[in-house]
Structure 1
Amino acid sequence: MGTAGERAWLEEGLALLAEQGAPAVTLDRLCERMGRSKGAFYHHFGSMPKYRTRLLGYFEAEHTMAIIDAVEGASALAARERLSRLVAEAIKDTGPELEIAMRAWAKQAPEAAAVQERVDATRIEYLRGLCEEAGHATPDKLAKLLYLVLIGGAHLMPPLPPAEKRGMYELLFPLLD
């Protein structure tokens, strides 16, 4: 998505979002962290509203579609193995901060809310398809249950560590039988 320069700005925006929340994603902070000028920023994005739109799209592409694409790259695997691979991909990131920050942003901004709603729907639908392919009698319900472990685990204080989250999924996987 975009040039290497644009990706660097977007990655920095996601890092700032995860660390300090949406209000901290400002032009001045981005430029300071990047060691770049406002002119360099405007060259790539034109304005902060355009940047925020691109940042939301980048989040969706990198933290939903890229994960699904990685799992589907192993489409020769049975649904249950792809589900296991999906869980591994979903819990391997550095922590829940970005997901929490995105949900907080979605509570404050309609554009972020629309993206978060689409991300949730895409993720649940993908899970539903895997559950259905694996032969589960109620794939809609199981997909939502599996997704709730990911979301809920991030919101515990302290957040559920990846190993424990993986253990929760191991408890749920027999439901596919």
Structure 2
Amino acid sequence: MRITRARWLDEGLAVLASEGVDGLRIDGLAARLGVTKGSFHHHFDGAADFRRALLAHYEEQARTSLAAAIESRGGEGTRATLAWLTTLVSRDDGLRRPELDAAVRAWAYADPEARATQARIDAAAIEALQAAWRPAAETDAAARTAALVPYLVSLGAAAIVPPVDAEELRSIYELLLEAVPAEDDA
């Protein structure tokens, strides 16, 4: 059986979410995929190359999922966009992966490359949320502050052990939606 590079990376993310960075062992990943370590070496130049590729794969997924979700409703106004994001919280579409997010953040504490990746992801998420908030906020600073609220709630919800489940987080976001001004009120 031939395993693609993307399949190795997807399996790496699954292991990272369930076992943390220490679970990213070539032999363990190969066994999970039912292939030999030779398959791994066909796609990666060792463990360090795999970890770099894994971080890039995660970053691409994290950055594009939120941006695409916001862009898909961006023309409808702040409240509609945030309401849409609230509905996505309880869907299994990759927008919220608390165990994986927590694992990458834990990795970032000990690894400069993981830390730089996480910093770019955070900056992109806050920027996307700030853009969503901008029509309802008086200034860019106010839009940034408003964007930080749901983002920090999401981080806190993922940090609790076990993480806040999707339905409860959705209820929290619905409560926050009540504070979002209608665009004609802004």
Which of 125, 128, 146 is the equivalent residue of 1:126? 128
Structure 1: segments with no counterpart, 5+ residues = none
Aligned to 1:18: 17
1:68, 1:86 within 8 Å by CA — same for their partners in 2?
Answer: no
Of the structure 1 ranges 73-82 and 153-162, higher mean CA displacement relative to structure 2 is found in 73-82
Aligned pairs for 1:17-166 (under 5 A) are 17-93=16-92, 95-135=97-137, 138-166=142-170
The residue matched to 1:176 in structure 2 has which SS? Answer: coil
The residue matched to 1:46 in structure 2 has which SS? Answer: coil
Letter of the structure 2 residue corresponding to residue 140 of structure 1: R
Letter of the structure 1 residue corresponding to residue 155 of structure 2: I
Letter of the structure 1 residue corresponding to residue 82 of structure 2: L
Measure, in 2, the Cα distance between the counterparts of 1:149 and 1:136: 22
Measure, in 2, the Cα distance between the counterparts of 1:114 and 1:19: 22
The residue matched to 1:175 in structure 2 has which SS? Answer: coil
TM-score by length of 2: 0.85
Q: How big is each residue's C-alpha offset from its partner over 1:150-174, in whole Å with a ceiling of 9 and x where there is no partner?
A: 1101122332111111111111123
Query: By how many angstroms is 1:86 displaced?
Result: 2.5
Measure, in 2, the Cα distance between the counterparts of 1:141 and 1:122: 15
Aligned to 1:8: 7
Measure, in 2, the Cα distance between the counterparts of 1:29 and 1:143: 40
2:108, 2:118 within 8 Å by CA — same for their partners in 1?
Answer: yes
The residue matched to 2:179 in structure 1 has which SS? Answer: helix
Q: How big is each residue's C-alpha offset from its partner over 1:127-146, in whole Å with a ceiling of 9 and x where there is no partner?
A: 11111123366111111111
Structure 2: segments with no counterpart, 5+ residues = 182-186
TM-score by length of 1: 0.89
Count of aligned pairs: 174
Of the structure 1 ranges 126-135 and 108-117, higher mean CA displacement relative to structure 2 is found in 126-135
The residue matched to 1:158 in structure 2 has which SS? Answer: coil
Measure, in 2, the Cα distance between the counterparts of 1:176 and 1:70: 18
Letter of the structure 2 residue corresponding to residue 170 of structure 1: E
2:86, 2:174 within 8 Å by CA — same for their partners in 1?
Answer: no
Of the structure 1 ranges 39-48 and 9-18, higher mean CA displacement relative to structure 2 is found in 39-48
Q: How big is each residue's C-alpha offset from its partner over 1:66-110, in whole Å with a ceiling of 9 and x where there is no partner?
A: 332243134443232222222333453475211111110111111
Q: CA RMSD in A?
A: 1.9
Of the structure 1 ranges 12-21 and 54-63, higher mean CA displacement relative to structure 2 is found in 54-63
1:31, 1:38 within 8 Å by CA — same for their partners in 2?
Answer: yes
**Residues 101 and 136 (structure 1 numbering): CA distance in 2 closer, same or farther, change over 3 Å?**
farther
